[in-house]
Structure 1
Amino acid sequence: MKKLLSTLLMLIALNTAFAQSNNPDGNRFPVRGFHLDLRNQVMTMDALKKFAVKLKESGMNTLVMEWEGTYPYEKHPMIPNRYAYTKAEVVSFIKYCNDLGIDVIPLQQSFGHVEYILRNERYKEIREDQKDFSQVCPLETKGDSALFTDLYKELGTTHTSKYIHIGGDETYLLGHDEKCRLKAEKEGKSKLYIDYIRMLCNIVIKLGKRPVLWADIALKYPEAIKTLPKGTVFVDWNYGWDMSRFGDHQKLMESGYEIWGSPAVRSSPDNYNLTTWEKHFKNIRDFIPVSEKLGYKGMIMTSWSTSGIYSTVFESSTDIADLYPIRHVYPLSGFNILFDAYKEGLNSKQPLNIDDFIQKYCKEHFGFNKAQSKSFWTALTMTPYEIKQGEVASPTPMSVQQLLDSNHVAVKTLYSLKPVKDLEEYEHFKLMADIRDYYLQYQVIEKQLNDSAFKVAATPVVIEKLKTLLAASKGLNDRFSLLNKGYLNPADIEYENEVRNIKIINLYNRLSRKK
């Protein structure tokens, strides 16, 4: 009994010492950080370093880097993409962050969201499906998964963090192939998922690191959670929904694992033509206090540059020519206001007061008074609705033309306000509003063309409208390039301008029969 008591006291002391060493300033979240998604919109190294300084100045200590194809894997040279950094650049960046007191945690997707790896025939044997290359088959990998052992080892040579984030979210194809289907029928999908994740966690642990993974699938199969190594960290991502959206949240809380929370400054349905500003502000306001109350040990703000789902261009029935990310959003360069809202939400003992924050931010950054700040916020949050298959996804009936008219008001409001400082930052808001206006004008045209009452004789008028839009797009492209010069890779800026305009260009070419 005395030995048991002594052991318990020792464990309590060790836990206390560990908490103090990882939380020297007594902050409610020992891990306070940001997640950068480089699957799309690759930042320059100078921009990354400036961002690290911004994290430091904001009281943050962690940066989760989802390098994807920008990491220069040497043993697997088919994985890096055209925007990949050099190993020297990665090492220099991590040292730079470490000198600032920023821990850089590498995120390597290792189950789902691995199209960029599985597209290569070298890895065809471990695909869950030979048409949808998004997911690894958990039964086709070797006992120690040679691929991910290699990748984690390489990450370990450049990253000094004690963590490796293994991903593990949104494994939509779980149990899809025949082997996996039979195992799932016999033992359950949870067994498929957890056995594979446990293997990955053990690879990380053998490297002297702690595994980190997204919590959504584990929440779906809570009966298997406790079989993972005890050093595992779960990241509970929540972008404004019920805590039990993915499964019984209480089961996760009872598991005894360390948990970090994760809101978002960019997420679905955001794209180039829509930013759901109010949703993200409310997410910061609501989720951070809940995470603190639940005893989460970390808070990592995500900022998704894309959905993580790809459209595949096949060159034959078995081989692919390219992958295109589905859903592009405006670059992170235009989201300083949400970054600062997150900083305030982290550092304040009270939930974020959105109205007060907007007024304070607008006064400090743009020199706006209370009325001007209110007008600015109204313009940002006016009719934030998607268009799906030609219909406006609004709570009450609204036509595409009405949505466009509403955005005209938002654009006019933003242009009527005259900031006296931080003019470049304000230009991002104006450009986003103009891009949305450009998109909605196109949607009105497309709606007209798809109407059964449309007369072919009206086609020349439509072509002229499209020509006018395309002429306007050149100005938008130039503004986008100027505002993101030095922030995004130059080739990526060109690519983003192409993607944003491709639908309009294609329709114009179709209707005008342009050769």
Structure 2
Amino acid sequence: MKTFLQRGFILFLLIAGLSFSGSAINFKPADSVQIKGFHLDMRIQVMKLPALKRFALNLGKNGINTIIMEWEGSYPFAKEPLIANRYAYSREEVRDFVRYCNSLHIQVIPLQQSFGHVEYILRNYKYAALREDQKDFSQVCPSEPELNKKLFTSLYTDLVSTHNSPYIHIGGDETYLLGHCEKCKKRAAEIGLSRLYFDHIKMLCDIVAGLGKRPIVWADIALKYPNYISLLPKETVFVDWNYGWDVNHFGDHAKLLKSGYEIWGSPAIRSYPDNYFLTDWQKHFNNIRDFIPLSRKLGYKGIVMTSWSTSGVYSSLFESEDELIDLYAIRHVYPLNGFNILVNYYLSTLNGDRKLTNDQFITNYCSSRYGLNPQQAMQFKNALFATPYNVVHGKVISPKEITVNQLLDSATNALNMLKSLKPIREEQEFRHYVLMAGIRVYYLTCMTIETEVNSPGFSADQVPVYLTKLDKLLADEQKLSAAFIALNKDFLYKSALDEENLLRSQKIHVLYNRLAKIK
């Protein structure tokens, strides 16, 4: 009888999802992280729909249950057609993508920026009355509540018609112009910046709640100005984005934790200082390694990986003082399909491989993915992690003083190291690393030339020497551009790839044309 009862108890434990070992009962804790997400940034580098689905499929197979879509100008608003750009999806394509993700048990949360980062809306003079500034179109004026309420009620209502997630992400980050215009200056003097910010955010959250959805807000400004955080509906979710800094980077983190609101954590695989010519691989590996366990320790209910195609800061091209021609994203990065190793590190860490070091993961990934041995894997890592420093006005921004030429030498060594490795599998994926390293060498070669022609000793009789160097560089550029299109043609549209190639090399062409006039 005793044996029968023991067996029955063990069977109960197995049915309940608990483990039993010997005489000790080990209760397996439920995962506190309910939202396992990935954020896709469509501000630039709008993915082709088949590529978008392939990416979602990989995420779904690896435990992701949420995608946050920052559609921006790629979303086709029915009542606000000026917002869409030339890469906008059709409404049926949006619905098709949402249905496809739902079939993978992934919810799609729309992200609609509603305070800062709204250049793509405010660039149109139809919305001029909502601008905080008539030259910097990045932010709506929170002192125009009726106009804002009308616009964003329309936008959120449209998004609800195509998305079935219980959430809408309203943005709310990096409101650099808070209290800038005359109306807002006056209000800020009376009520303070925190109240100015949260009055607007509350209005937006109330619209979302009125549509039966839960609002999501980036947490940086709430951390900076937390005094009126309690104004928001209790169902509001804050996303604490942290890309490798102290938790008090934006403000007193304890106040956010004590606010009573649900919080999700958010690391990044593409962010500052990444650009066309630099990826700080080590920063992103460390961010994943450190912040995901911290998010769990803090009791966050969700973790969402961000992957920014740009900083969201734009350069305005004006035809005259008041007539805008176009906006150009100031910082671009390499397309997302070149970052599979970081995506997989995130998925692995999120799903339980929490004790893996960067080196262990890279070794395992290089073995299973590329067929490289441990020594080759460490060569690969060293090449990726080599001297991730920017150059500004001829100076290398680094902890220790190094020259641009020394930085170029390091980048060249990294490129040669990658070229020496011969993957036996996934060769196309591996070529992304080689191309990124080649683009970096190309750029730093140009920076050495630029630094030298900006030196006090540069004279006109030296111009032919530098034109010869630039001629070689421009020949290399054609090869890099062709490789860039070949590797990314299934991911991005041809016109977008052409534009990326053009903008990436524009500085070098400008320098060449200026020097050629001196010849």
TM-score when normalising by structure 1: 0.94
What is the aligned partner in structure 1 of residue 474 from structure 2? 470
Q: Does 1:279 align with 2:255?
A: no
Q: What amino acid is the match of 1:366?
A: Y
1:104-253 equivalences in 2 (<5 Å): 104-142=108-146, 145-253=149-257
Moved over 2 A (4+): 25-28, 349-352
Q: Percent identity?
A: 57
Structure 1 residue 388, shift from structure 2 partner: 1.3
What is the aligned partner in structure 2 of residue 402 from structure 1? 406
Structure 1 residue 112, shift from structure 2 partner: 0.3
SS at match of 2:388: coil
Structure 1 residue 26, shift from structure 2 partner: 3.6
Structure 1 residue 419, shift from structure 2 partner: 0.8
Structure 1 residue 489, shift from structure 2 partner: 1.6
Contact 1:286/1:351 (CA < 8 Å) preserved in 2? Answer: no
Q: 459-468 vs 357-366, which deviates more?
A: 459-468
What is the aligned partner in structure 2 of residue 457 from structure 1? 461
Task: Give the whole-Å Cα distance in 1 for the aligned partners of 2:80 and 2:264.
Answer: 31
What is the aligned partner in structure 1 of residue 428 from structure 2? 424
Residue from 296, 315, 319 that aligns with 1:292: 296
Q: What amino acid is the match of 1:298?
A: G
What is the aligned partner in structure 2 of residue 367 from structure 1? 371
What is the aligned partner in structure 1 of residue 339 from structure 2? 335
What is the aligned partner in structure 2 of residue 502 from structure 1? 506
What is the aligned partner in structure 2 of residue 11 from structure 1? none
Contact 1:289/1:351 (CA < 8 Å) preserved in 2? Answer: no
Task: Give the whole-Å Cα distance in 2 for the aligned partners of 1:445 and 1:291.
Answer: 45
What is the aligned partner in structure 2 of residue 434 from structure 1? 438
Contact 2:171/2:218 (CA < 8 Å) preserved in 1? Answer: yes
Q: Deviations over 1:171-214 (max 9, x none)?
A: 00000011110111111000100000000000001111100010
Task: Give the whole-Å Cα distance in 2 for the aligned partners of 1:303 and 1:297.
Answer: 20
CA RMSD between the two structures: 1.1
Task: Give the whole-Å Cα distance in 2 for the aligned partners of 1:414 and 1:143.
Answer: 54
Task: Give the whole-Å Cα distance in 2 for the aligned partners of 1:143 and 1:466.
Answer: 52
Task: Give the whole-Å Cα distance in 2 for the aligned partners of 1:84 and 1:513.
Answer: 41
Q: What amino acid is the match of 1:330?
A: Y
Task: Give the whole-Å Cα distance in 1 for the aligned partners of 2:407 and 2:224.
Answer: 38
What is the aligned partner in structure 2 of residue 9 from structure 1? none
Q: Deviations over 1:206-248 (max 9, x none)?
A: 1111000100000111111111000100000000000011111
Structure 1 portions without partners, runs of 5+: 1-24
Contact 1:144/1:203 (CA < 8 Å) preserved in 2? Answer: no
Q: What amino acid is the match of 1:90?
A: V
User: Aligned in 2, Cα 1:144/1:366: closer, same or farther, shift over 3 Å?
Assistant: closer
Task: Give the whole-Å Cα distance in 2 for the aligned partners of 1:129 and 1:143.
Answer: 16
Contact 2:76/2:91 (CA < 8 Å) preserved in 1? Answer: yes
Structure 1 residue 507, shift from structure 2 partner: 1.3
Structure 2 portions without partners, runs of 5+: 1-28
Q: Does 1:92 align with 2:104?
A: no
Task: Give the whole-Å Cα distance in 1 for the aligned partners of 2:355 and 2:195.
Answer: 39
User: Aligned in 2, Cα 1:507/1:144: closer, same or farther, shift over 3 Å?
Assistant: closer
Task: Give the whole-Å Cα distance in 2 for the aligned partners of 1:506 and 1:141.
Answer: 45
SS at match of 2:83: coil
Contact 1:284/1:352 (CA < 8 Å) preserved in 2? Answer: no
Q: Deviations over 1:136-181 (max 9, x none)?
A: 0001231761111111011111011110000000000000011110
Structure 1 residue 351, shift from structure 2 partner: 4.1
What is the aligned partner in structure 1 of residue 314 from structure 2? 310
Task: Give the whole-Å Cα distance in 2 for the aligned partners of 1:48 and 1:416.
Answer: 32
What is the aligned partner in structure 1 of residue 268 from structure 2? 264
